[in-house]
Structure 1
Amino acid sequence: MASVEFERLVAQLRSDVGEPYFAADGYILYCGDSLPLLRRLHQAGVTARLCLTSPPYNIGKEYEKPRPLPEYLQWCSEWMGAIHNIATPDGALWLNLGYVSVPGKAKAVPLPYMLWDRSPFFFNQEIVWTYGAGVSTKQTFCPRNEKWLYYVKDERNYVFNLDLVRDPNVKYPNQKKNGKLRCNPLGKNPSDVWSIPKVTTGRNRSSRERTPHPAQFPLAVVDRIVKVSSEPGDVVIDPFSGSGSAGIAAVGNARVFLGVEISERYCALAVERFRQYQRERAAGSAQTSLL
């Protein structure tokens, strides 16, 4: 199913949008500015069941040019609106955001507090992603979490495959009430707090999946999101694809990935990472869960 959808989508994109930077084996990547490309996708009638992304945080990373905060928030409103236009009626947007300083007012305001209502999507839930490693501080508590905003296009009709992402780590799996198991045999609901390690750097502590990209989220996070909010054969889009984690999770779960990345350097990095994943999978060393 995914291969058929991939071939159909690539043909449509080449005809109506333009030649991708890369397109093979369920993985499509464009190199360019995401907002105009999202608008072209909408004009071409392209749709996606899931958008999974983490945009620049406006904090001066090497891949972004900081904007005045009101301008940044307006830009986010525009690209989120463009995503809404191409989302299927039962589609979802998962948005990862960090923190931003407000001169004279705040050291680190969670961007979700500023952006949660700036899109046409229905805000379904906040997910707190907590991790063990991070920045060390002496005058504040060490930050050890980021937020995911979980939006849906229709609050009454959206994909939510809970059984595919249940946590098997149940304290009393055989506990019964009135003769019936209290817990689902597949495991418990993972809840809205996800404890998943970050992709770490540094000598003797760098994660196996580490790439040169400075803002990379782990495959364990995006694998869960892809499974819960899409079906095999669906199109999954990431308009700020960076190191390509969403792409590997999508293709690894038999979805079709459509990514956009403004940096040609990171496009090349993402393609090589995908090729490496393919080589490992062909050799039998890439685990089914990607992790």
Structure 2
Amino acid sequence: MTLPVPYFSRDGFTLYHGDCIDILGHLPAGSVDLIFADPPYNLSNGGFTCKSGKRASVDKGPWDVSAGIKEDFSFHLAWIGACRRVLKDHGTIWISGTYHSAYACGFALQMLGFHILNDICWFKPNAPPNLSGRFFTASHESLIWARKSKDSPHYFNYSLMKSGEWEEDSMKRPGKQMRSVWSIPSPKGEEKRQGKHPTQKPCALLRRVLLACSREGDVVLDPFTGSSTTGIAAAVLGRTFIGIDSSVEYLDLSIRRYSDLGVLE
């Protein structure tokens, strides 16, 4: 099987441009230790939200437009299936989402034979307010963590999660087991100095995921890499990274962020 030509590759940080299902089909089976996926939430429906205290459109681009419930689920089933093929037997997958996508992804995982280990509530202490006054203020996202099957072994750095330094999380108590609710602020300003992605995740969130479930030298994959926060965390922590995205704009942003680490000097 011939690998596609990378859009960018340097020192264990590789980016591919294209459809993730197609690219994943060219990667070797059983070659990835950890997958973090932040698939489209399909929220670009003409609605509005609040940004910096002002009303703003929720529309992010054609990639975030819903094709309908059945079609959206078929897409989740297809890309998760493609991820399953490249994941090692001992590997695990993380999927980020809101209620618009998380339940569909969870069902797809179970249909494909994965075993769900935890659902993490990522609480955002600095979440924007709800402008309509007709709903509860959305202040969290869900992270689903699953292994390849119920009987598959998986890696978990329990001692670090319990006794490590997690100063960014006001809910974590020193020396106590890490719970399934994580209080982590949205991305800091310096994380967006090279540009912004509309669904960018904070580095602290990905750092915790990678430290919990991967070892130095492991291969980490993000099939919807966006601005590559997963890749930035992987590079800093000594993991090999593979990112895929359909947008050249965001791949170029990923390269600028990677270059900003000083690893290209």
- Native 8 Å contact 2:30 2:88 kept in 1: no
Show structure 1 runs of 5+ residues with no match: 1-14, 101-110, 171-185, 201-206, 283-291
Amino acid in the other structure paired with 2:243: G
Aligned residues: 234
Distance 1:209 1:242 in 2: 13
- Native 8 Å contact 1:95 1:148 kept in 2: yes
Q: 1:162 to 1:218 in 2, by over 3 A?
A: same
- Native 8 Å contact 1:29 1:260 kept in 2: yes
Q: 1:194 to 1:74 in 2, by over 3 A?
A: same
| Residue aligning to 1:248 | 232
1:136 aligns with 2:129: yes
Q: Secondary structure at the match of 2:191?
A: coil
| Residue aligning to 1:18 | 4
- Native 8 Å contact 1:117 1:123 kept in 2: no
Shift of 1:227: 1.0
| Residue aligning to 1:93 | 93
Larger Rg: 1
Shift of 1:278: 2.3
Show structure 2 runs of 5+ residues with no match: 45-59, 167-173
Distance 1:31 1:97 in 2: 23
1:112 aligns with 2:102: yes
| Residue aligning to 1:187 | 175
- Native 8 Å contact 2:30 2:85 kept in 1: no
1:126 aligns with 2:119: yes
Q: Secondary structure at the match of 2:261?
A: helix
- Native 8 Å contact 1:168 1:188 kept in 2: no
Shift of 1:168: 5.1
1:199 aligns with 2:187: yes
- Native 8 Å contact 2:227 2:251 kept in 1: yes
Q: Deviating runs (4+, > 4 A) in structure 1?
A: 167-170
1:29 aligns with 2:29: no
- Native 8 Å contact 2:21 2:79 kept in 1: yes
Amino acid in the other structure paired with 1:142: T
| Residue aligning to 2:69 | 69
User: Matched residues, percent identical?
Assistant: 29
- Native 8 Å contact 2:162 2:176 kept in 1: yes
Amino acid in the other structure paired with 1:126: D
TM-score by length of 2: 0.82
Distance 1:125 1:20 in 2: 33
Distance 2:221 2:104 in 1: 23
Distance 2:31 2:9 in 1: 17
RMSD (Å), alpha carbons: 2.0
| Residue aligning to 1:7 | none
1:152 aligns with 2:147: yes
Q: 1:23 to 1:169 in 2, by over 3 A?
A: closer
- Native 8 Å contact 1:124 1:155 kept in 2: no
Shift of 1:164: 2.5
Shift of 1:91: 0.5
Distance 1:21 1:195 in 2: 35
Which is worse superposed, 135-144 or 257-266?
Answer: 135-144
TM-score by length of 1: 0.75
